[in-house]
């Protein structure tokens, strides 16, 4: 299970979370809802270890006050992919896999790129990719990693319909294998189709919605 309690976070004077709690079980796909500016991306960035704050955490049996000790077990797909424009697709894959020490899954990334019909562009510089192509490349890298928790910020919004279907299949497979997915979306059909649970950020708290 993934359990977070006593989460407090502010940007300077701007309070985002006050003693917030969150809970998910293996296989859960959790949609985080909330108004613009309520803190959805902030929550994902805290769990990804990009923003630091102290909290109480049980990460599948590892107890800690932040995610540093389990960062290798977390995959984060931000709303704008972290890629180098002046490296090719293949070089970006190499770099990302080296960062995560997962060069063994490179063939998995390449086969996912093939499914996304991106393989012919892998020798081109990323600066010449469309936004959707960049998302496909980054998603192929992160979905191929072996992690327990996947964080996705607006995961499907830049993908065409065919790529959305492929990505959804991979996400369903991941949760069937016991992984937890936490995602944000403003598209109701995506949250209805993907979420097993919904939380809403309100009053600096994460509140479980009962009718999800």
Can you give the binding site for ligand ATP, defined by CB under 6 A? 11, 14, 16, 34, 36-42
CA dist 102 and 24 (Å) reads: 26
Cβ proximity to ligand ATP, 37 vs 178, nearer residue: 37
Cβ proximity to ligand ATP, 102 vs 154, nearer residue: 154
In whole angstroms, the minimum distance from the beta carbon of 18 to ligand ATP comes to 14
Number of Cβ within a 10 Å radius of residue 96: 23
CA dist 24 and 60 (Å) reads: 10
Euclidean distance between the first and the last CA atom of the chain, given in angstroms as a whole number: 19
Cβ proximity to ligand ATP, 16 vs 77, nearer residue: 16
In whole angstroms, the minimum distance from the beta carbon of 76 to ligand ATP comes to 14
Residue 33 φ then ψ, to 5°: -105, 170
* Short-list 152, 149, 92, CA closest to 126: 92
Cβ proximity to ligand ATP, 20 vs 96, nearer residue: 20
Which pair of tokens denotes residue 49?
């270890």
Instruction: Give SS3 for 44.
Output: helix
In whole angstroms, the minimum distance from the beta carbon of 34 to ligand ATP comes to 5
Q: Which residues pair with 187 in a beta bridge?
A: none
DSSP, res 103: G
In whole angstroms, the minimum distance from the beta carbon of 201 to ligand ATP comes to 7
Cβ proximity to ligand ATP, 50 vs 212, nearer residue: 50
Which pair of tokens denotes residue 162?
């065919």
In whole angstroms, the minimum distance from the beta carbon of 156 to ligand ATP comes to 15
Cβ proximity to ligand ATP, 40 vs 145, nearer residue: 40
In whole angstroms, the minimum distance from the beta carbon of 14 to ligand ATP comes to 6
Number of Cβ within a 10 Å radius of residue 28: 18
């Amino acid at each position: 299970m993934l359990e977070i309690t006593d989460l407090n976070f502010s940007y300077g004077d701007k309070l985002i979370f006050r003693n917030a709690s969150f809970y998910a079980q293996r296989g859960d796909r959790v949609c985080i809802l909330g108004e613009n500016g309520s803190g959805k991306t902030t929550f994902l960035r805290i769990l990804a270890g990009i923003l630091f704050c102290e909290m109480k955490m049980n990460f599948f049996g590892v107890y800690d006050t932040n995610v540093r000790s389990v960062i290798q077990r977390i995959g984060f797909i931000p709303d704008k992919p972290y890629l180098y424009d002046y490296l090719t697709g293949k070089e970006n894959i190499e770099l990302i896999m080296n960062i995560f020490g997962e060069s063994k899954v490179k063939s998995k990334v390449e086969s996912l790129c093939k499914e996304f019909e991106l393989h012919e562009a892998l020798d081109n510089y990323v600066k010449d990719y469309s936004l959707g192509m960049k998302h496909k490349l980054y998603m192929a890298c992160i979905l191929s990693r072996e992690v327990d928790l996947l964080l996705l910020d607006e995961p499907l919004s830049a993908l065409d319909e065919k790529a959305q279907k492929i990505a959804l299949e991979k996400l369903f497979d991941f949760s069937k294998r016991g992984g937890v997915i936490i995602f944000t979306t403003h598209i109701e059909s995506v949250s209805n189709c993907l979420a097993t649970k919904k939380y809403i950020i309100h009053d600096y708290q994460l509140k479980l919605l009962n009718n999800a």
